[in-house]
Each structure stands twice: as C-alpha cells, then as structure tokens.
Amino acid sequence: MGHQHAGLRRGDLVEVKTPEEIFETLDADGAVDHLPFMPEMLEFCGRRFRIARRAMTICVWGPVSPRGFRADDVVTLEGVRCAGDAHDGCQKACMIFWRDAWLRRVKDTAAQSQAHVSGNAPSQARLKTSTGPQTYYCQASELAKATDALSRSQRFGKYLGEFLAGNLNALEMARSVGIWFYWRRIRMHLGLVPHGRGRSTPTESLHLQPGEWVEVKPMRDIIKTLNEKGQNHGLYFTPDLRLSCGRRHRVQGRIDKIIMDGSGEMRRLKNTVRLDGSTCSCSYMGGLGSGGCSRCEVVYWREAWLRRADPPVSEVPRNGKRL
C-alpha cells in the first residue's frame, strides 16, 4: 500500500475513491492490515468530506490500555458513521476508519467523481460481513487485531503526533493536559469508575423515544443503580459521564443491539438510549501522552440514569417559532 496521502490533516478536503480502486488495496478478507473496508462504506464512494482527524490513539473494549494502528495512515471523516445496514442493523454507530489509500485529496474547484454506488449489490457481495452464524466481521470486531497496545513512550509520541497532524492546536493541547490533571485528582480521591454497594442492580424502563428531553440524574442517585463493579446490568457508568450529571439532552434514539469489540458477537441491550451530542473521547484514559480516543464512540445511557425533563427555553416554540 502506498503512502502518497500520508500528509492528510484535519480539515483537508478528500474524495473517497471508487470501489474498483479500493478493492485493489484489499486482501482476501477485504481488509488492509486487519482493518476491513465494509459494505456500509460503499455509499460514500465518490463523495467528498473533510478530514475529522488522524487516528492516533484508540481504545478497544476490555482492559483500559490505549492502542494505535501500526501505520500512520488512518483517518476519520467529519460526520461519517457506520449505519450497520449490512450487519443486521447494528446500532453501534461507529466512526468509520479510512486508510489513506482509500482517499484522494482534492481541491474545492476540482470536478467531483460520479462514483456514488449506494445499493451496488455486486460490490457489496465482494465484502465479508461475518465469520460464522452468530458472529460478525467489521471494523469493531477486528480493531484489536488492527492495532497494538502503546507503551508510555509510544503514547507520548502519538500525543505529539496529534499536534503535528493538526488534530490539536496549542490551546487544545494545553486543555488536554489540564483534563489529565483533573482526571488524575478524580482517580486519587474517588477512583476511576464510580461503584455501588450491591451485587444486583435495578432496572428502569422509561420507554424514551427520539426527540424527548431528559436530565441526567445526580451522581448520588446514579450510584444507587450501580453494583460493586460500577455497572448496571453489565454497562459501566464511565468516568466522563459524571460531567453530564444535571444536564439536559435530547434523546437521539434507542439502542437495542450492538456488535461487540473483538468478538464480533451481537449484544442485545434493554432500556438504553443515545443522546444528542453525547460521545466519548476517553480523555480519562492513559495519562499524560494521550490525546483522547479517535473513535468518538456514542455513549450508551441506561434509562435508570435519566429522568424526563422539560426542553430548554430556547427549544420551546412561541407563536410557531423557536426562540
């Protein structure tokens, strides 16, 4: 695989190459160094996007250890997430990773390709989506294979790479250092993950629907929903969720099933929703030398952590108009 696009930076305009060009880079499993090109990505061929960031540091479900791709040739695109259509309707909504070899840098004045192939069945048929009757093959299932755990020195190198690649400017780097000191104090005084006292956890069903408004409960109420491992029915209340306590969010949708990192197993969820603007950067991970996770994962909220709320004043219609 060539590295002619290794200079792509945040904000650069790129066009996704044609399926034929991309297939030439793929191995028998439809991947490059274990990172699959998925059927859901075909609809973006020929379309243009801005680079969101170079993928320096990522986390994978399991032990808290930052990981990185073996080659610095992976980026994410602004607003491009996986719809899960080719994977039994998975609702994980992952940010899609793109190899530089699948993209071309373009200028705003350049003519756009006509390679849009949404629904192209022959192209989709060439791409692998499962490894067995109950296991799926996608970027989430293969991330542990496509990346390596980072040593302390490697994490620091990736952190500098965030700056050089334009992921972080000087002010954002200073802010990330401040965040590290903040989480260090939280870890020392409260522990990394909040813990409850019991072994069993309550279930609460609000039957929330997209568009409804909710408020995140206070920490003292949320702790009552967690077991001694800091989980509610297997789902962690992760450290950065503390910052949302008392805040109002609009419900974006329900989450009923997701493909698990590493195993490719489809996990069923109950009483769980996603909220507008609620994503995880894992800024609490890895200590100084981690610029946050490039996955920008959607946060999973148990309904037991939420309560219905009135919309903000700015969202209340007045005479048919919003304020």
Residue 147 belongs to some domain of the structure: yes
Task: Determine the Cα–Cα distance for residues 143 and 61; give it in Å rounded to an integer.
Answer: 10
Residue 320 belongs to some domain of the structure: no
Q: How many angstroms separate the most distant Cα atoms in the chain?
A: 62
pLDDT tens digits, 181-204: 666 676 665 555 667 777 788 899
Residue scoring higher pLDDT (125 or 74): 74
Q: Cβ of 110: how many Cβ atoms within 10 Å?
A: 12
Q: Cβ of 111: how many Cβ atoms within 10 Å?
A: 6
pLDDT for residue 101 is more than 80: yes
- Beta-bridge partners for 297: 280
Residue 299 belongs to some domain of the structure: no
- The span from the first CA to the last CA of the chain, in angstroms, equals 52
Residue 255 belongs to some domain of the structure: no
Task: Determine the Cα–Cα distance for residues 163 and 173; give it in Å rounded to an integer.
Answer: 8
- Total domains present in the chain: 1
Collapsing DSSP to helix, strand or coil, 121 comes out as helix
Residue 251 belongs to some domain of the structure: no
- State the pLDDT at residue 279: 86
Distance of CA 237 to the CA centre of its chain: 16
Residue 164's pLDDT band (boundaries 50, 70, 90)? confident
Task: Determine the Cα–Cα distance for residues 83 and 87; give it in Å rounded to an integer.
Answer: 9
Residue 229 belongs to some domain of the structure: no
For 211-255, where are the E strands, in sequence order? 213-216, 231-232, 235-236, 248-254
Residue 230 belongs to some domain of the structure: no
- State the pLDDT at residue 5: 41
Encoded amino acid at 134, one letter = Q
- State the pLDDT at residue 286: 47
- State the pLDDT at residue 4: 41
- State the pLDDT at residue 265: 95
Average pLDDT, the chain: 84
- State the pLDDT at residue 140: 96
- State the pLDDT at residue 3: 40
| Nearest CA among 298, 46, 57, 295 for reference residue 161 | 57
Distance of CA 166 to the CA centre of its chain: 19
pLDDT tens digits, 279-316: 886 655 544 545 578 888 899 999 999 999 999 877 66
Q: What is the pTM of this model?
A: 0.84
For residues 31-57, give the mean pLDDT: 95
| Nearest CA among 116, 20, 21, 6 for reference residue 69 | 6
- State the pLDDT at residue 284: 54
pLDDT tens digits, 36-48: 999 999 999 999 9
pLDDT tens digits, 103-114: 999 987 656 665
Domain that residue 121 falls in: 13-154
State residue 314 phi and psi, 5-degree precision: -65, -15
Which token pair is 17?
């190459």
Residue 146 belongs to some domain of the structure: yes
